[in-house]
């Protein structure tokens, strides 16, 4: 049987090789020869499928950080965060060197609520080690998924933190909507929080833009913080809402892919009016395309921190056994010609810890720690402002990372999942009275108060779950206010949804606060779009 398999493989390689150069044919024959020798002469029996799969993985790994192999078991599940729904802890992950690497934390999902972050490595689940034991993706899925309301304990290794961190996560129905929030603020601005670019993004946003138009909203705050990207066409369509006909949104170009331009059309509903886009180091790919186009055309102000820097275009290719590869075939460029992709020549490990490196260098905390050479400078297309390439989108206005935003007690409540379990219990116990007293979010915003009685209930519940307020430093009035506002926003989100959560939470959201202040100061807004 093995002889027939090798004969078939050799025939396939021969036919396949006829399409390529002599040099390529020699390498293809070389690989087939090695595989044949191992299969027929190696001292122990081998699994040909595993050998080929491992060879593919390692080959792609040497190319760039985003060309990947996806096993046939993973193919069915890989698009769930963009297209489907499920119950679990709400992460996207990849097995890297026998360790589960978190590559995406789904907005408003259970993992985000307790504080899991992209780049975390999960080393154990419910006390069972999953690192370095050759565990498979399907085994991980079985361990992490489960019925809504059930708990799972995970141990995480995080870059920059010396000891592993324990998280207790309550499984839930994972939200798949891409628009977390779309509402009109008290100042009359339109606010949109977008967590990804999914197939339905523009369909979801259409209703939001229509509501804005019906209420004569002129100015928009588009929050793309922690938006890791998604479908290119959705990003182009969103940029089209703000740009004029024939203005270039993005172009792609690769060795075997000639330059392709993507331009705006006449359908934009917000080609006029002030626009602010919020980004940070978690904003990637499609988010960077939108932010880069708006910045290059001086259409709006980009605020926050430098974006992730993912500007490689992947194309999926199905393989014969149901698996597939995502192969990088081109690069993204902004309208001025800036390359979005950050360097990756030093290897995957250095690439993966780039955000941690930025933090160590002070870039996330201090604007003057960001050093960019003049060779990376470009001019915007209208106002001739200086903008920079070299990886990611540099904002027009810097917002530092707030490392002291919450008290240590607050962080522990989040990390252990206690705060979110308490909110669920509190709302369940009081839902009937609350819905009667607060029939809508506006009434809730004005009348509901997170008073000392609620804090006492929280402290009691926390102690029952072995988180003791007395074990931490005394919480200052300012940090206690943040805790109370966070509780109020979470209650609103539980009663309604994330849209209402952000209507409360934005009172303590530094991104939104800065965006609002800029729009309230038209002189400051104009200065950002005209500074050299």
218-276 tens-digit pLDDT: 999 999 999 999 999 999 999 999 999 999 999 999 999 999 999 999 889 999 999 99
Which helix (H) or strand (E) is 483 found in, with range? helix 477-495
Residue 76 lies in a domain: no
Same domain as 366, residue 413: no
Look up the CATH number of the domain holding residue 309.
3.90.226.10
Which helix (H) or strand (E) is 251 found in, with range? strand 248-254
Same domain as 305, residue 367: yes
Same domain as 395, residue 296: yes
Band of residue 15 on the pLDDT scale cut at 50, 70, 90: very low
Residue 523 lies in a domain: no
pLDDT tens figures, 41-86 = 989 988 888 888 888 888 888 899 999 998 887 776 665 555 545 7
182-191: average pLDDT: 97
Q: Which among 310, 342, 416, 484 is annotated as catalytic?
A: 310
Q: What is the 3-state secondary structure (H, E, C) of 65-111?
A: CCCEEECHHHHCCCCHHHHCCCEECCEEEEEECCEEEEEEECCCCHH
- State residue 177's pLDDT score: 82
Domains contained in the chain, number: 4
Q: What percent of the chain has pLDDT over 70?
A: 92
Q: Which among 296, 298, 396, 494 is annotated as catalytic?
A: 296
Flag the least confident range among 115-119, 310-314, 415-419, 480-484: 115-119
Domain final residue pick, 173, 206, 230: 173
pLDDT of 97 higher than 70? no
Same domain as 293, residue 436: no
- Beta pairing partners, 152: 169
Same domain as 203, residue 148: no
Q: Residues of 140-175 as b/e, b for ≥16 C-beta within 10 angstroms?
A: beebbbeeeeeebebbbbbeeeeeeeebbbbbbebb
Same domain as 215, residue 117: no
d(CA 75, CA 78): 5
Give the sign of the dihedral formed by CA 167, CA 172, CA 174, CA 175: negative
pLDDT tens figures, 371-430 = 777 778 999 999 999 998 878 999 999 999 988 889 999 999 999 989 988 998 898 789
Q: How many CA atoms lie within 13 A of 233 on its CB side?
A: 5
- State residue 245's pLDDT score: 96
Same domain as 142, residue 116: yes
Closest to 70 (Cα-Cα) out of 319, 348, 349, 285: 319
- State residue 374's pLDDT score: 74
Q: Is 166 a catalytic residue?
A: no
Which helix (H) or strand (E) is 331 found in, with range? strand 324-333
d(CA 508, CA 511): 9
Residue 473 lies in a domain: yes
511-528: average pLDDT: 97
Q: Is 186 a catalytic residue?
A: no
**Structural domain of 232:** 179-313+329-401
User: What distance lies between CA 339 and its chain's CA centroid?
Assistant: 20
Q: Which among 107, 108, 283, 285 is annotated as catalytic?
A: 285
Residue 96 lies in a domain: yes
Residue 65 lies in a domain: no
Look up the CATH number of the domain holding residue 136.
2.30.42.10
Average pLDDT, the chain: 88
Domain final residue pick, 359, 380, 401: 401
Residue 525 lies in a domain: no
Q: Helix (H, G, I), strand (E, B), or coil: what is residue 310? A: coil
Q: Residues of 495-531 as b/e, b for ≥16 C-beta within 10 angstroms?
A: bbebbbbbbbbbbbbebbebbbebbeeeeebeebbee
Q: Is 296 a catalytic residue?
A: yes
pLDDT tens figures, 131-143 = 776 777 778 888 8
Residue 71 lies in a domain: no
Band of residue 1 on the pLDDT scale cut at 50, 70, 90: very low
pLDDT of 16 higher than 80? no
- State residue 289's pLDDT score: 97
Same domain as 169, residue 183: no
Same domain as 283, residue 383: yes
- State residue 11's pLDDT score: 45
Domain final residue pick, 125, 154, 173: 173
Band of residue 21 on the pLDDT scale cut at 50, 70, 90: low
d(CA 109, CA 123): 20
21-32: average pLDDT: 79
- State residue 39's pLDDT score: 86
171-195: average pLDDT: 92
Q: How many CA atoms lie within 13 A of 321 on its CB side?
A: 12
More confident residue, 344 or 221: 221
Question: Do 122 and 95 form a contact (C-beta atoms < 8 A)?
Answer: no
Same domain as 214, residue 292: yes
Q: What percent of the chain has pLDDT over 90?
A: 58
- State residue 165's pLDDT score: 93
Same domain as 456, residue 417: yes
pLDDT of 510 higher than 50? yes
pLDDT of 519 higher than 90? yes
Same domain as 228, residue 168: no
Residue 478 lies in a domain: yes
More confident residue, 166 or 92: 166
More confident residue, 490 or 25: 490
């Amino acid at each position: 049987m093995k002889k027939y398999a090798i004969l078939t493989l050799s025939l396939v390689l021969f036919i396949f090789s006829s399409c390529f150069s002599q040099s390529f044919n020699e390498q293809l024959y070389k690989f087939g020869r090695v595989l044949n020798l191992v299969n027929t002469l190696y001292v122990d029996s081998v699994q040909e499928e595993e050998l080929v799969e491992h060879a593919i993985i390692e080959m792609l790994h040497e190319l760039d950080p985003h060309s990947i192999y996806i096993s046939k078991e993973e193919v069915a599940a890989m698009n769930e965060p963009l297209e489907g729904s499920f119950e679990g802890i709400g992460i996207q992950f990849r097995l890297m060197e026998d360790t589960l690497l978190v590559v995406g934390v789904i907005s408003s999902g259970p993992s985000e609520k307790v504080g899991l972050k992209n780049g975390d490595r999960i080393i154990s689940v419910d006390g069972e080690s999953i690192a370095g034991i050759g565990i498979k993706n399907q085994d991980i899925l079985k361990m992490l998924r489960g019925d809504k309301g059930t708990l799972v304990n995970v141990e995480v290794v995080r870059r920059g933190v010396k000891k592993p961190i324990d998280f207790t996560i309550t499984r839930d129905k994972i939200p798949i909507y891409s628009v977390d929030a779309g509402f009109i603020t008290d100042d009359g601005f339109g606010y949109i929080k977008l967590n990804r670019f999914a197939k339905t993004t523009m369909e979801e946003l259409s209703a939001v833009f229509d509501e804005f138009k019906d209420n004569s909203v002129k100015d928009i705050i588009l929050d793309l913080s922690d938006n890791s990207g998604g479908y290119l066409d959705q990003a182009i369509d969103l940029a089209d809402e703000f740009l004029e006909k024939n203005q270039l949104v993005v172009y792609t170009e690769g060795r075997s892919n000639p330059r392709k331009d993507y331009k705006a059309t006449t359908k934009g509903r917000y080609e006029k009016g002030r626009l602010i886009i919020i980004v940070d180091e978690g904003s990637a790919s499609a988010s960077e395309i939108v932010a880069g186009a708006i910045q290059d055309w001086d259409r709006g102000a980009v605020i926050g921190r430098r974006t992730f820097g993912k500007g490689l275009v992947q194309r999926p290719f199905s393989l014969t056994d149901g698996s597939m590869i995502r192969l990088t075939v081109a690069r993204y460029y902004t309208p001025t010609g800036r390359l979005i992709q950050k360097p990756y020549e030093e290897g995957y490990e250095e690439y993966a810890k780039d955000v941690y490196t930025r933090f160590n260098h002070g870039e996330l905390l201090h604007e003057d720690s960001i050093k960019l050479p003049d060779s990376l400078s470009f001019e915007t297309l209208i106002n001739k402002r200086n903008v920079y390439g070299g990886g990611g989108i540099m904002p027009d206005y810097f917002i530092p990372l707030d490392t002291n935003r919450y008290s240590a007690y607050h962080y522990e409540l989040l990390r252990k999942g206690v705060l979110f379990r308490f909110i669920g219990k509190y709302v369940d116990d009081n839902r009937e009275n609350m819905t009667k007293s607060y029939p809508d979010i506006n009434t809730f915003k004005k009348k509901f108060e997170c008073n000392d009685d609620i804090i006492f209930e929280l402290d009691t519940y926390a102690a029952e779950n072995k988180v003791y307020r007395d074990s931490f430093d005394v919480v200052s009035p300012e940090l206690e206010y943040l805790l109370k506002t966070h509780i109020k926003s979470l209650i609103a989100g539980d009663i309604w949804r994330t849209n209402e959560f952000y209507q409360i939470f934005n009172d303590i959201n530094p991104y939104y606060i800065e965006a609002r202040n800029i729009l309230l100061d038209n002189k400051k807004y104009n200065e950002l779009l005209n500074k050299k």
